[in-house]
A and B are shown apart, each in its own frame.
Chain A
C-alpha cells in the first residue's frame, strides 16, 4: 500500500491484510477471543463460510487450495477451536498444500497462565507447520500476515499458522501493508541448476526403459503441461502417485496409472525394470516404494524436487535437481530427444493387456468399482474428493482423471473425515465443477455434521457413500493377515444415511441394485443441490491388486482371484 497510513485496530487490519492477499473466502468458526475479528467480518467484503466443526474449516480450506491452487485460509478460536485444527494442519503439511490458519489466543497478559481456553497452539503445531507465529505486537501483524502467505505459497508449499492474542485485535496501529518480504533464512531455490539439468539430459540420452514417476509436486507447480510434453518427447511412460493423480491425462497411451501398494501391476513392473527413473515432485513414500532396498533396482534415478531435504532422504538418487518442477521440466524438454523405447512400450502394452486392473462385476450386488465407472460416465469432468479407505483406492483406480486438481484426497496423513469438508472447499473454489465426495460409511461419520453447512448455504455437493457396513480397509487387512478376525471393524446399520440427509434438509437417495446406480447419479447431478447417495455395496470386496507391506512392489497380488 502506498499513501498515508490509516489508524485502525488489529481486527480491522486483519481484514485489510486478507484483502491485500486477495483472499476471497475463509472457513471459520467464532469464539470469545475472536469477537473483535468477527465483528469486522460482519460487513467485510469477504466470503466467510461458517462450518460446524473447526476440523471441517481446515479441511475445507485445504480442499479449496487444492482445487484452485490458491492459499486456503481458515480461522478458529483459542483453545479447543485451535486444537480442532490440528489434524487438518498436519494433513496439509504432509501433502504440501498452501494454507494459512489463523487462531485466536488469550490476551497476551494471560499467556502462560493456563487461562480459560488457552492452548499453546504454536508449540503444538511446530512439527506440522512450515512455520508459525505468535503475534506479540499489533505493529507486526501486517508483516506477519504478509510473510505467512508468502511462506505458505512459495517453495515447497505448506501450512503456516498465525496465533493472534485478543488484545492484538483491539490494539491500534498505523496500517501499512508491506510490498515485499524480507526473510534472510528463507530463499527457496526455484531455478534448477543448469549443470544438473545437463547431466539429467545425458543420462536420458541412452535410456531404453525410462519411467517417469510424478507426484503432487507436479500439481503444486502447475507442471502438467510440461510433464505431458516431456513424456511425449521422450516417449516415456508415466505413473502418478495418489497426490499426483490428474497431473497426467489418464487416457494417454503413456499412462501407467498409480504405482505402489494398490497401484497397477504394470506401473510397478515398469518401475522395477526401468533403467532410468525420472522422479518429479515425489518423496518416495513407503506406500509407493514398498521394500526400499529392492525399489527400481536397475535404474539410474533423476529426482526433481523443490525441497532439497527430499533428495536422497529415502533412496539414494543419481542426479538430483532442486527447483520448481515446471521450470526444470521446461528446460529439460529442450535438451532431450526421443528415446528408443519401442520395445519397452511394447512390453508395457503386453503387461497392460495381461495384467489389467479388473474386477468381477455382478448384476445382483453393486460393485464399488462399477459405481466409479458410472460416475465417470455421467460426469467425466467432475472433481472427485475422497475420504480414506477402500473407496479412496477405488476412486484412484477407476475414475479417469484428465486434468490436474480434479482428484483431491488425503495422501500422506490418510485422514478419515477429510473428504466431505474438502469437497465443500473445492466446490466453493470451483463452482463451475460438479464435486463428488467419494465416501465410506465410516469416514463420512467423522464429519457428517457438515451436512448442516451445505444445506444452510445450499452448496451443491454429491456425497456418494460406499456403504459396506465395515471399516473396510482395516477389515481387508484383518481378512488377509489376521484370519478374518473382524475386531471392531463392523459398523453395519449404524445410521440410516438417507434419513440423516433428510433430517438436515438435503436429498437422500438409497441405491441397492446395480441397475439403479447410473440413474441415481444422474438424478443427483440434475438436482444440483446438497445430495447424499447411499450405495449399498458388496460388503467384503477387497482393493486389488495389493503389495503386502514390506514386499517389493513387483510382488503384487490379485485379491479378486483369492476371493
Chain B
C-alpha cells in the first residue's frame, strides 16, 4: 500500500541526508520525495511517498520520529488529503503532429511552455495518475526528456497539521 507522509523538519543543513540515509539504511523504499520550506522559515516540509505494509509504515514513522531534527510525522493517507505534482515533459513535435499534442495538453489542462522546431515542452500538474496518463498518451510521439518535482500534499479542509 502507498502512503503519503508529511514530515516537518528543522530547516538545517544535513537534514535531508539524515532522512534519506535512514530510508536507505533500513531498506525502506521511497517512491517520491519533495522538500521545501514552509510558512515558518525555520521549518521545512518533506512529502514522502512510501510503499509497504502496515509494519513497514509503522517502522518508517517511528524511525523518522527518532531523528532529532524531525519535528512531526503525519500519515496523510489515513485521512482525506490533496496531492499534486508538477512535471515538465519534452516531446518530439513537428508541424504534422503539433495540433494533436496541443489537443492532449488541453484535455489535461496542461500548458505548453516552450516550443522548438522539433519539440514542445509541456508543464502538467496533477496527482500521480494524471501524470501517468498524460505520459502514456505522449509516449507515441517520443518523450525526449522528463523532470518531476515529486508529490506535495496537504490535508483537506480548513485544519492544518
Contact = CB atoms under 8 A, between A and B. Distances in A.
A353 interface: no
Interface in B1-39: 9-10, 13-14, 17-18, 21-22, 25
Interface in A301-339: 307-309, 311-313
A115 interface: no
Interface in A45-95: none
Interface residues of A, number: 18
B71 interface: yes
A201 B68 CA distance: 33
Interface string B41-74: 0000000000000010011001101111111000
Interface string B69-86: 111000000000000000
- Chain B interface helix/strand/loop/mixed: helix
B59 A122 contact: no
B67 A185 contact: yes
Contacts of A184: 10, 71
A528 B65 CA distance: 48
A199 interface: no
Contacts of A134: 13-14
B156 to A, nearest CB: 26
Nearest to A123: B17
Contacts of A309: 59, 62-63, 65-66
Interface in A92-131: 122-123, 126-127, 130-131
A185 B62 contact: no
Nearest to A130: B68
A312 B58 contact: yes
A372 interface: no
A307 B66 contact: yes
| A131, A151, A185, A312 pick with most chain B CB within 10 angstroms | A185
Contact of B25 (A123, A127, A307): A127
A312 B61 CA distance: 13
A183 interface: yes
Contacts of B58: 312
A481 interface: no
B68 A185 contact: yes
A42 interface: no
A308 B62 contact: yes
Nearest to A185: B71
A122 B21 contact: no
B68 A183 contact: yes
A184 B69 CA distance: 8
Contact of A131 (B22, B25, B68, B71): B68
A321 to B, nearest CB: 15
Nearest to B68: A131
Contacts of A311: 62
Contact of B70 (A123, A185, A308): A185
B65 A308 contact: yes
Interface in A272-322: 307-309, 311-313
Nearest to B55: A312
B47 to A, nearest CB: 18
Contact of A126 (B9, B13, B18, B66): B18
A185 B18 contact: no
Contacts of A126: 14, 17-18, 21
A131 B9 CA distance: 14
A130 B67 CA distance: 8
A309 B56 CA distance: 11
Nearest to B21: A126
Given A122-B14, A309-B63, A186 B68 contact: yes
Nearest to B72: A185
Nearest to A158: B66
A29 to B, nearest CB: 26
Contact of B69 (A122, A123, A185, A307): A185
Contacts of B21: 126-127
A130 B66 CA distance: 8
Interface in A179-221: 183-186
A185 B66 CA distance: 8
Contacts of B25: 127
A151 B66 CA distance: 11
Interface in A108-165: 122-123, 126-127, 130-131, 134, 151
A184 B43 CA distance: 11
A151 B14 CA distance: 18
A448 B87 CA distance: 60
Nearest to B42: A184
Contacts of A151: 68
Given A134-B13, A311-B62, 18 more contacts: A122-B14, A126-B18, A126-B21, A127-B21, A127-B22, A127-B25, A131-B68, A151-B68, A184-B10, A185-B10, A185-B67, A185-B69, A185-B71, A307-B66, A308-B65, A309-B65, A312-B55, A312-B58
15 contacts: A122-B14, A123-B17, A127-B21, A151-B68, A183-B68, A185-B9, A185-B10, A185-B70, A186-B68, A309-B59, A309-B63, A309-B66, A311-B62, A312-B55, A312-B58
Interface of B: 9-10, 13-14, 17-18, 21-22, 25, 55, 58-59, 62-63, 65-71
Q: Which 7 A-B pairs have the closest CB atoms?
A: A309-B62, A131-B68, A185-B71, A186-B68, A185-B70, A127-B25, A308-B62
